[in-house]
Structure 1
Amino acid sequence: MEHSKKINFILPFPTKRPNGGPKVMYTYANLLAEKGYEIQIYHSLNTSYTKYKKPYFLRAILHKLRKTSRPKWFKLNPNIKSFNVKRVTDAYISNADFIISTWWATALEVDRLSDEKGKKINLIQDYENWKGHEELLLKSYGLPKTTNIVIATYLYEIVNPKSVKKTYTLFNAIDNNVFYIKNGIEKRLPSILMLYSNEKRKGTSYGMDALLKIKEKYPSVTISMFGTPIKPHNFPEIFNYYSQPKNLPEIYNSHAIFLTTSIQEGFALPPCEALSCGCALVATNIGGHKDYLINNETGLAIEPKNVNDVFEKIELLLNDDAYRIEIANKGNRYFSANFSWKKNIEQLEKIFNEI
């Protein structure tokens, strides 16, 4: 490969807790570092259009003390250099061959950097319109010097008409050395697992309402949730709760069904992890699930915010174990055949060569 192999990754903030967007960036950074690229990760402490509760100097001290430039929850390759910087400007970012950003505000900042900082790539992981600024979000898709990479088909349909350069798609994947079937699909007892989140767009409340109805009708079914928050004070005593679990693959493997009631997602990772671990998937029919959710094949599709639909689809799987096993097997096979980091890195290197 003929290049000086230097790649900058730009993130809008350091992350103290597991978070899907940064996890994808860190995974690409690790995989490229393994291939001999020189990787530098920058986390901005002052991202444009972001409101901060504490002044910069205080945040900078706290981040330094907590060593957030290398997240505790993700094992970065030791050869990777990772920093927290005051802001994304030429003064703080070193020269490279390629510069990969994520989040629209960061892409707009990277656009203003000199060409020496690297050929610009924007990894678009969601339709990031939750905090307003939709006009600027759409502007970030049409930057003349930036190559857009999207992680889902529905994002391609939004971004491609606005892109100046060719738009590429790189679906997310998961580490199948970590997430795989350890406990036979057919051996699993009636049980349901769901991610707990305080983010409204994750639709947790609809899932919980449906699961309470399930527990009432099927008291012997085990219902569990996991998440980054500590156990909420009003959490139902009849459900299990795992806060920031270290043994997530085992938790997936000990459940028969995985439920996700998200209203909006980029390309959700927990359902992919669950599929890889042999759970039958019940998921909302939104863009962020559609690349791996084929209704009645790889999982059961549900209408967002529809508690009765969630209840009925779960009931189908609880009452027909052969159907649950068939759905889980098909979902597992489909995901492992179509999504892999190895394939993604090969594609990413092709993109480097093309741009």
Structure 2
Amino acid sequence: MTTGYYIGLMSGTSMDGVDAALVKFDQGQPTLVAHHTEDYPDHLYKGLQRLCQPGNDEINRLGRLDRTVGKIFAKAVNTLLAQANIDKAEVIAIGSHGQTVRHMPNLEIGFTLQIGDPNTIAAETGIDVIADFRRKDIALGGQGAPLVPAFHQQVFAKADANRVILNIGGIGNVTWLPGDAKQVLGYDTGPGNTLVDAWIQQVKQEPFDKDGAWAAAGISSIPLLTQLLSHPYFSQPAPKSTGRELFNQAWLEQQLSEFSQLSEEDIQSTLLDLTCHSIAGEITRLCDTGEVYVCGGGALNGELMRRLTELLPSHHIETTDALGVPPKWVEGIAFAWLAMRFKANLHANLPAVTGASRSAVLGALFPAD
């Protein structure tokens, strides 16, 4: 097994910046050594949001943003290494998720597209980059997502304990780790923070609802919640994955057209309930009782955690801090792990999760030299 320092770079559906995790592996088990978040400048955030919707001059905008995101990712790496006082020569490779701008695996010829030019990252850091992890799984007939369940299995699975690892980023996803060593499952549950973030950005020009305080001030509308939960995605069987292509501001505005009488905070409360109810429904389908460990930005939202705990009274709910991994850094560590798997020529996808025809080595190498 390859050992040494790796860096994982992760930017999710929220599109607010890149998390860089410096990781040391021992027998395949990770230790988080240092971390850094590089926020996206406002113009880049807006440019990425525009690119997520079909529009004019897309290829030129895509090309420019691909390089720009690559430069931000490289800056995150260089800042991380400077803060940790680690020489780039000590880093075996960077695993870069990239920034997803389209995820459409269910078309006749499905595809997923992440930008953040790995050549730029390699050139500006002087470190080998492993990137483009998702498209091999798509080529094998899979969803290309989620990829983290294989990592969750290695790091969080425990014999005789039924565990769910719940990641709440822009989109929510679950990994089912049964204690009897049966098949691991994992898929996207639907919106995580994406809609609650979009609504508070639109109404209050705030980046996110800190600790769910605005949602807590509202009263959820059952008719609106019922309508939102009637989206066909929620009843679709796994394997499945989703993103901004389905759950976005345009869809939200369409859903709200008949609910103009609701206050803004009541809408926020209902959107948070959409996240919690859709997640709780999936967890209940997976197991009547068990342990749920939450990671991602949603783990830091007290109101979200409170509502989730209410909806799942038979489950023990904590953040991944309880398992020794800070919730904000699970996905960054996972992409360092995926880079390590690539260097060791080890398979990294779970066909039962993604629907791929077989497991495979994921990613492509972009050398620094």
Q: Quick check: which one's helix share is greater?
A: 2
Please indicate the TM-score interval, normalised by the length of the shorter structure: 0.3 to 0.5
Q: Quick check: which one's strand share is greater?
A: 2
Which structure exhibits the higher relative contact order, with contacts defined as CA atoms closer than 8 Å and separated by 6 or more residues?
A: 2
Structure number, greater radius of gyration: 1
